[in-house]
Homo-oligomer: A and B are copies of this chain.
Amino acid sequence: MQDRPVITLTTDFGYDDPFAGVVKGVILKINPNAEIVDITHGIRPHDIREAAFTIGTNHRFFPDDTIHVVVVDPGVGSQRRPIMVLADHHYFIGPDNGVFTHIYNTPHDILNVVHITASHHFLSSHSPTFQGRDVFAPVAAYLSSGVGMPKFGDLITDYRKIDLPIPFATPEGVLQGEVVHIDRFGNAITNITRADAENVGSVTASSDFKILFRETVVPLKKFYSDAATGFLCCLWNSSEHLELFIDRGNASSQYNISPGEPVRMLRA
C-alpha cells in the first residue's frame, strides 16, 4: 500500500448537495491516509453512458493502484449488484449497471470482477438509497487500507455491459460516428478516435479523409487557435477523439449540437 492511496470519485451528485462531502467523510473515517480526488460530480443525473465515457477515457492519467469510485446509480437499492473491478493496475468500484463498459472493452492483461458481498465492510446502518456513502465509500476505504480484493466477494463473469455508440462503416465506405459529450467550452466530442480513422477500411491516413457534419465539410486543425475565427472546425483532441469546435466560440450553442448527432468521415 502507498502512504497516501488515491481514491477518485466520478458521480452525478452535483456540487450543491452534501453527497460528495459525506462520501469523503466516510472514507477518511476508515482510512485517514486516503487521498481523495474528484474527477467530476457533474455527470448528468443517471447518465450511465456519460459516466462510462468519462471514467473510461480518464483513469489512465492516475497512478497505478488508484481506486476509482463511480456512482451513477439509478437502480440503487434494487437487485443490481455492487462490484469491484481490477483492470491492469487500476481498481474500480460501483454498481453493476454497465458504467464500467469502456473498461471492459479495453484490452488488458488482467480483468477481474468481484461481486461485493462482504457486508461487514459496509456502514452498519446502510440505507437502500445512498450506497455511494454506505457501500462504495467504505469498501474503497478498506481496499485502500490493505484489505485484499478476494475479501470483498467472489469473481463473476456475467457483469453487465451496455451498448455504447461505436462508429461503424457504411456500405458506401463512410465511417459514421456521433457526438457523445459537450464540454464546458461548447466543444462537441465524438466517439470517433484517431485509431478508428487509421483502422477502418476506407480511411488510411489522416491526410486522406474529410469530415462531414450536416453535409458540410469541416476543416481539420491541429489546435484551437489554428482555426479561422467564428468557423466550425474539428481536431483530434487530448483523448484522441474527433472534436468539433469554434475557436474562442461555442460550437454547441451556435450550431445547437447535442449528443447523438452523427458525424461522418470519408475518403477525400
Chain A residues within 8 Å of B, Cβ to Cβ: 2-4, 6, 8, 10, 12-22, 24-26, 28-29, 32-33, 35-43, 45-46, 54, 57-58, 61-63, 66, 74-78, 127-130, 133-134, 183-185, 222-226, 235-238, 240, 243, 247-248, 250
Assess whether A248 is in contact with B74, with CB atoms less than 8 Å apart: yes
Assess whether A18 is in contact with B58, with CB atoms less than 8 Å apart: yes
A/B interface sample: 10 pairs, CB < 8 A: A10-B18, A10-B21, A15-B42, A17-B40, A19-B183, A19-B184, A21-B37, A29-B62, A36-B37, A74-B247
Contacts of A18 in B (CB 8 A): 10, 39-40, 54, 57-58
Assess whether B6 is in contact with A77, with CB atoms less than 8 Å apart: no
Assess whether A61 is in contact with B29, with CB atoms less than 8 Å apart: yes
Looking at the complex, which one of B3, B22, B26, B78 makes contact with A32 (CB distance below 8 Å)?
B3
* Complex CA–CA separation, A12 to B15 (angstroms): 12
* Complex CA–CA separation, A4 to B78 (angstroms): 37
A126 to chain B, nearest CB (A): 9
Contacts A28-B62, A74-B224 supplied; 20 other A-B pairs, CB < 8 Å: A10-B21, A17-B42, A17-B183, A18-B58, A19-B183, A21-B39, A22-B58, A22-B61, A25-B37, A26-B61, A29-B63, A32-B35, A36-B37, A45-B184, A45-B185, A74-B247, A77-B223, A78-B225, A78-B226, A129-B237
| Best-buried of A22, A76, A224 by chain B (most CB within 10 Å) | A22
Contacts of A3 in B (CB 8 A): 32
* Complex CA–CA separation, A39 to B21 (angstroms): 4
* Complex CA–CA separation, A220 to B238 (angstroms): 47
A228 to chain B, nearest CB (A): 14
* Complex CA–CA separation, A146 to B66 (angstroms): 24
Q: Can you list the 9 inter-chain pairs with the closest CB atoms, starting with the nearest?
A: A77-B223, A16-B42, A130-B238, A21-B39, A14-B184, A25-B62, A127-B238, A128-B223, A25-B61
A73 to chain B, nearest CB (A): 9
Assess whether A225 is in contact with B77, with CB atoms less than 8 Å apart: yes
A86 to chain B, nearest CB (A): 18
